[in-house]
């Protein structure tokens, strides 16, 4: 492996990096444990290890780019969520963040339930042995075929997302001679992201049925009259990467208000309330996520208080974390290729993947961290932008970060916190081969989703 530094790195005193990296960290060799999965550490030679295995060995055996998932960390996070919410509440892992048969098995073993939102996710869940009653089916446009499969399989709940769907699901259930347990997804007029939430007067988006204008109350009215449906509760999901509980507070208050209205009008006390997912994780050192037990306590207190005020029995609470469970448990390992210093700007570091394995930066302007992981370095920090190999100038993996100035082609760098919405949103752009997901635990590494091959590409291309 070549260790020669590229010629004279650029000076970048005039460039103010955007986002989190206003200044280089004191020591680039120190890994901030907040953004790395729990078993990640540096060994005596300075190379990063996960689950007791050095990254160079992982790269050699599995190639790059690849996602390495820390199984012990994943299981520990599942247990922490299950323990925090206890026997009187339910935790549904949002499968869209990342789903595979191994993940389903681990969820099952650790006592979590599972959200799916497509026929494909449902098939994966059932195939890996998740009991149907522990599955919730979501989506704003479920096909009749998907509804039939979900009802036939006996999923524990279908979350109804529109007036048309109320009728559709009721018809399918009746035709199959079943009574399907359902929740109604409402939009509460709150949109939450990271540190603030926005109260929105009208709901200009595709999900759910608005509380505003009495629409959600009308949806409840209709659902209660249909024989094929057993309406058990109300569902609300307000956003993503949320740190501040204030949005959940407003959401819970408005959902409980609806429960009180339903009781007053129909004499029915709905027994469930689902507050959705969206809990934030640390992508950079600047993020401070809450622990599951703090979240459980905060949500439990809010719902209990609001129900007492409305003289309602406290319903059974459920939550649907996706990112908060799987996000921190994986990193993407890349090999450094072309390094292009742009005088007075920054250095572009190209890796062997890009927007095909992580679309989040291009799609949401997401922030990530990055570290040199095949060795340590005492070189000066260099302002970099980590970019992929795709034919698109927006193909950015990490917008602004610092790496050592002696970075060289062949070095391995890793981007932490890529467990959620990276492999699950991966594409074949430029006929890229989607990377494998490798589970690492106690000195053993096992492929749970294999790398795509050019044969896979040609097999789909039927000529
Ligand atoms: C996406 C989604 C989630 C999970 O969101 P995270 O940000 O991954 O926690 C949960 N519930 C619903 C309805 C969703 O659409």
Query: Ligand 1 center to residue 140 CA distance, Å?
Result: 13
Tokens of 67: 């996602």
For 283-297, what is the mean pLDDT?
95
For 129-154, what is the mean pLDDT?
98
| Any atom of ligand 1 within 6 Å of the Cβ of 235 | no
**Residue 74's closest CA among 112, 124, 31?**
112
Whether residue 156 sits in one domain with residue 48: no
Structure confidence at residue 17 (pLDDT)? 54
State yes or no: pLDDT of 130 exceeds 50.
yes
Which one of 326, 350, 376 terminates a domain? 326
For 291-309, what is the mean pLDDT?
96
| Any atom of ligand 1 within 6 Å of the Cβ of 186 | no
Q: Where are the alpha helices (DSSP H) in 238-333?
A: 246-266, 292-309, 323-326
Nearest atom of ligand 1 to the alpha carbon of 239: 7
Structure confidence at residue 132 (pLDDT)? 98
Structure confidence at residue 21 (pLDDT)? 57
Structure confidence at residue 2 (pLDDT)? 38
Specify the 3-state DSSP secondary structure of 192. Answer: strand
Contact 49, 302 (CB under 8 A): no
Contact 295, 346 (CB under 8 A): no
33-49 pLDDT per residue, tens = 999 999 999 999 999 99
Whether residue 114 sits in one domain with residue 42: no
d(CA 295, CA 397) in angstroms, rounded, equals 30
Whether residue 295 sits in one domain with residue 242: yes
230-255 pLDDT per residue, tens = 999 999 999 999 999 999 999 999 99
State yes or no: pLDDT of 199 exceeds 90.
no
Cα torsion 333, 336, 337, 338: sign: positive
How much is the pTM?
A: 0.94
Which one of 326, 350, 384 terminates a domain? 326
| Any atom of ligand 1 within 6 Å of the Cβ of 157 | no
Asked whether residue 88 is domain-assigned, the answer is yes
Nearest atom of ligand 1 to the alpha carbon of 420: 8
| Any atom of ligand 1 within 6 Å of the Cβ of 320 | yes
Of the residues 78, 115, 248, which should be mutated to test ligand 1's pocket, given the most ligand atoms within 8 Å of the CB? 115
d(CA 46, CA 357) in angstroms, rounded, equals 26
d(CA 277, CA 270) in angstroms, rounded, equals 21
With a pLDDT cut of 90, the percent of the chain lying above it is 90
* CATH number, position 344: 2.40.37.10
* CATH number, position 241: 3.20.20.10
**Closest C-alpha to ligand 1, atom 7:** 278
Reported as a pLDDT band with limits 50, 70 and 90, residue 205 is confident
Structure confidence at residue 13 (pLDDT)? 44
| Any atom of ligand 1 within 6 Å of the Cβ of 321 | yes
Whether residue 266 sits in one domain with residue 194: yes
Asked whether residue 367 is domain-assigned, the answer is yes
Query: Ligand 1 center to residue 238 CA distance, Å?
Result: 9
Asked whether residue 7 is domain-assigned, the answer is no
Asked whether residue 80 is domain-assigned, the answer is yes
78 is catalytic: no
Whether residue 311 sits in one domain with residue 237: yes
For 136-154, what is the mean pLDDT?
98
Tokens of 326: 């799987």
State yes or no: pLDDT of 4 exceeds 80.
no
| Any atom of ligand 1 within 6 Å of the Cβ of 279 | yes
d(CA 281, CA 289) in angstroms, rounded, equals 5
Asked whether residue 23 is domain-assigned, the answer is no
Q: What is the rounded average pLDDT for all residues in the chain?
A: 94
Q: Which domain, by its residues, includes 334?
A: 33-70+328-458
Catalytic residue among 78, 117, 391, 422: 391
Query: Ligand 1 center to residue 43 CA distance, Å?
Result: 36
61-83 pLDDT per residue, tens = 999 999 999 999 999 999 999 99
């Amino acid at each position: 492996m070549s260790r020669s530094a590229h010629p004279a790195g650029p000076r970048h005193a005039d460039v103010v990096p955007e986002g989190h990296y206003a200044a280089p960290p004191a020591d680039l060799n120190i890994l901030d444990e907040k953004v790395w999965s729990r078993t990640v550490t540096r060994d005596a030679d300075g190379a990063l290890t996960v689950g007791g295995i050095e990254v160079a060995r992982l790269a050699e055996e599995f190639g790059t780019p690849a996602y390495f998932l820390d199984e012990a960390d994943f299981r520990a996070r599942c247990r922490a969520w299950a323990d925090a919410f206890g026997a009187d509440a339910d935790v549904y892992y949002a499968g869209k963040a990342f789903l595979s048969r191994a993940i389903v098995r681990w969820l099952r073993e650790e006592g979590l339930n599972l959200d799916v939102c497509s026929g494909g996710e449902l098939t994966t869940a059932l195939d890996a042995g998740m009991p149907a009653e522990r599955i919730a089916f979501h989506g704003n446009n479920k096909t009749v075929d998907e509804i039939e499969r979900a009802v036939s399989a006996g999923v524990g709940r279908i979350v109804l997302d529109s007036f048309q769907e109320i009728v559709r699901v009721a018809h399918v259930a009746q035709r199959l001679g079943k009574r399907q347990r359902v929740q109604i997804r409402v939009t509460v007029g709150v949109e939450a992201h990271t540190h603030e939430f926005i109260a929105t007067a009208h709901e200009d988006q595709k999900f759910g049925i608005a509380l505003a204008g009495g629409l959600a109350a009308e949806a409840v009215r209709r659902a209660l009259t249909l024989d094929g449906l057993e309406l058990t509760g109300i569902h609300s999901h307000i956003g993503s990467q949320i740190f501040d509980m204030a949005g959940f507070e407003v959401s819970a208050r408005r959902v409980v208000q609806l429960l009180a209205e339903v009781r007053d009008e129909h004499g029915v006390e709905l027994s469930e309330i689902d507050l959705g997912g969206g809990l934030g994780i640390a992508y950079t050192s600047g993020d401070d996520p809450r622990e599951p037990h703090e979240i459980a306590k905060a949500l439990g207190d809010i719902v209990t208080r609001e129900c007492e005020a409305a003289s309602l029995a406290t319903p059974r609470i459920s939550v649907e974390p996706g990112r908060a469970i799987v996000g921190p448990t994986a990193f993407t390992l890349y090999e450094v290729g072309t390094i292009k210093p742009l005088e007075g700007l920054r250095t572009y570091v190209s890796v062997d993947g890009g927007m095909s394995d992580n679309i989040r930066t291009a799609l949401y302007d997401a922030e990530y961290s990055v570290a040199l992981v095949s060795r340590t370095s005492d070189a000066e920090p260099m302002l970099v932008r980590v970019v992929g190999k795709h034919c698109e100038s927006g193909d950015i993996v990490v917008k602004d970060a610092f790496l050592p100035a002696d970075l060289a082609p062949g070095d391995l760098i890793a981007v932490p916190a890529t467990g959620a919405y990276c492999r699950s949103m991966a594409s074949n752009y430029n006929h890229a081969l989607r990377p494998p997901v490798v589970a690492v635990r106690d000195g053993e590494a096992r492929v749970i989703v294999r790398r795509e091959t050019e044969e896979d590409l040609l097999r789909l291309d039927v000529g």
